[in-house]
Amino acid sequence: MARITFLGAAGTVTGSKYLVEADGKKLLVDCGLFEGRRDLKQRNWEPLPVNPATIDWVLLTHAHIDHTGYLPRLLRDGFRGPIYSNAATRELCALLLPDSAHLQEEDAAYAARKGFSRHKPPLPFYTVAESQAALARFHDIPRAGSFTISPQFSVRPHDAGHILGSSWLELTITENGRQTLVVFSGDLGRYDQPILKNPESPARADFLLCESTYGDRDHPSGSVLDQLADIVSQTAKHGGAVVIPAFAVGRTQTLLYYLRQLEEEQRIPRLPMYLDSPMAINVTDLYERHHEDHSLEFSREEGQGNHDPLNVHEVHMTRSVQESKNINDVVAPCVILSASGMATGGRVMHHLARRLPDPRSAVLLVGYQAEGTGGRALLEGAKYLHIHGEEVPVRAQIHEIGQLSAHAGKSELLRWLSGFQAPPRQTFLVHGEPTALNSFRSTIQDQFRWQVAIPEHQQSVDLAL
């Protein structure tokens, strides 16, 4: 009988990994890294309960590190099969995985110099070379339509509207001539937003795994442009810097799109903006190549000036460590966008260390801030932030624009679920913190009368019809 084991994102929002077994074959859906709380990150270093050498295939919903960042380790520990994703996800992973490895190497080297790591010597979780080895295993599957993995597994991806290439998956398991349909929501995006399309809705499933990041609340209404204009122009007026922790792919493009619009409408001054990322490829090109996911129109004709909707007028892309450090000397006002998005590590930590003590400056948080992250501490009013072994006083203004989230809010999750023509036999709520999971379970039970379970870490469930 087919079986699923929850190897991550069970009772928490990171580490997505679901092992599906049928007819002696093993398929891993998503292969994410745990992030945030120390005890969660520690799980990354513990061996999986399944030998990676016995896993036949990996199938990805989207490129975010909490869904893909464990891949280099899976290979190091013996996985030798193909990794299936669509082309946009593969191209994003080709940016994100080496970038994540590079940041880990930089952080480990920095920790070694300063002597503050718990590992002696400090180690990156994986290296750039290991991330390249993982990329060599990627195989493209179609953006839509059915794809056969093996006699046991076939998959049909649908647009999830969360980031470029993001999909929810209909997995058909065939065993002893019987078919079982499992829907994996992956991460679901928003409705009626600029750039990305609306999530498609599923019609049926025997078993459903649904993300619950915002299962207990909706995003605030109110205009993103008004808030962003306010924060940027106020900070500029005081002569401060706006530091925005953001993934270099995804939310960063949304922010640049809005900032560009505010510049055009002269609602903010034209400021130097620093996109501090070691990625060597212009992400905008990815959006130009993958039109299937978004509604942007690019016009970059010669002699027409900068008509790139994803770039502000004065943008500086920094790749090397030295360029990144030089931003410390940039006299405000300016805007600095840098990863990681939850202030858990990476270059944004240097910018926070430099700008947080300055009451004229501002930090703008734009995505989900998981438990135990620097971003969550700032939102909760921390007076100090622990950065690179030092206590950095928080005197800068802390702002949040919840509407910029790439995740569906509660009503958007319910809108997605309302597409089902019959209740799934069993719904599993994943990818949420306990409060969100419990609240969303009650809402679904009240509204739809479905069978809803909240699986525990490493729990296995038979997919019995």
Q: Which residues bind Zn ion (CB under 5 A)?
A: 64, 187
Rounded to the nearest 5°, which phi and psi values hold at 364?
Answer: -115, 120
Least Cα distance to 293 among 247, 259, 253, 341 occurs for 253
Beta carbon of residue 189, minimum distance to Zn ion (angstroms, whole number): 9
Q: Which is nearer to Zn ion, 122 or 161 (CB)?
A: 161
Rounded to the nearest 5°, which phi and psi values hold at 374?
Answer: -60, -40
Q: Which residue has 């953006």 as its token pair?
A: 143
Beta carbon of residue 33, minimum distance to Zn ion (angstroms, whole number): 12
| Strand duo 390-393 + 384-387: pairing | antiparallel
Beta carbon of residue 166, minimum distance to Zn ion (angstroms, whole number): 7
Q: Are 394 and 385 in contact (CB under 8 A)?
A: yes
Burial 402-435 (b: 16+ CB within 10 A, else e): bbbbbbbbbebbbbbbeebeebbbbbbbbbbbee
Beta carbon of residue 267, minimum distance to Zn ion (angstroms, whole number): 30
Q: Which is nearer to Zn ion, 65 or 396 (CB)?
A: 65
Q: Which is nearer to Zn ion, 83 or 111 (CB)?
A: 83
Least Cα distance to 79 among 130, 45, 37 occurs for 130
Beta carbon of residue 287, minimum distance to Zn ion (angstroms, whole number): 17
Could you give the CA distance from residue 329 to residue 326 in angstroms, rounded to a whole number?
5
Beta carbon of residue 410, minimum distance to Zn ion (angstroms, whole number): 17
Distances (CA, A) of 244 to 255, 275, 340, 343: 9, 10, 10, 10
Q: Which is nearer to Zn ion, 242 or 436 (CB)?
A: 436
Q: Which is nearer to Zn ion, 212 or 311 (CB)?
A: 212
- AA letter at 92: L
Q: Which is nearer to Zn ion, 61 or 311 (CB)?
A: 61
Q: Which is nearer to Zn ion, 184 or 274 (CB)?
A: 184
Beta carbon of residue 92, minimum distance to Zn ion (angstroms, whole number): 11
